[in-house]
């Protein structure tokens, strides 16, 4: 089960194991859009407000993104606060 507006684990696994060569262009576009929305939601909602499964999935996704893209970590919200100087006490 997933939190409102989020992809559930079953959907994510299904998309990842289905070869791109068998997906239509429409399916690929849909996955790209929903993946972007899911990543935004992942960063916008604090982990303590998520279901246990969603929290674990999001932590794994952030870890993968940091490894794949060299990110410094932190949520989108945290990065926005830093950019605006709101993270200073």
DSSP-assigned letters across all residues of 41-68 = HHHHS-GGGS-HHHHHHHHHHHHHHHHH
Q: Which residues contact 79 (CB under 8 A, 6 or more apart)?
A: none
Predicted pLDDT at 63: 79
Residues across the chain = 89
- Which range is least confidently modeled, 29-33, 50-54, 76-80? 76-80
Residue 54 tokens, joined? 């969603």
- 20-36 mean pLDDT: 91
Name the more confident of 4 and 34. 34
Which pTM was predicted?
Answer: 0.57
Give residue-wise pLDDT tens across range 46-71. Answer: 888 888 888 888 888 777 777 776 66
Query: Which of 47, 37, 48, 49 is closest to 73 using CA atoms?
Result: 47
């Amino acid at each position: 089960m997933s939190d409102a507006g989020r992809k559930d684990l079953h959907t994510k696994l299904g998309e990842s194991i289905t070869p791109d060569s068998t997906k239509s262009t429409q399916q690929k576009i849909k996955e790209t859009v929903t993946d972007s929305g899911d990543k935004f939601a992942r960063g916008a909602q604090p982990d303590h407000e998520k279901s246990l499964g969603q929290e674990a999935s999001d932590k794994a996704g952030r870890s993968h993104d940091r490894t794949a893209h060299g990110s410094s970590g932190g949520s989108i919200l945290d990065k926005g606060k830093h950019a605006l100087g709101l993270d200073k006490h």
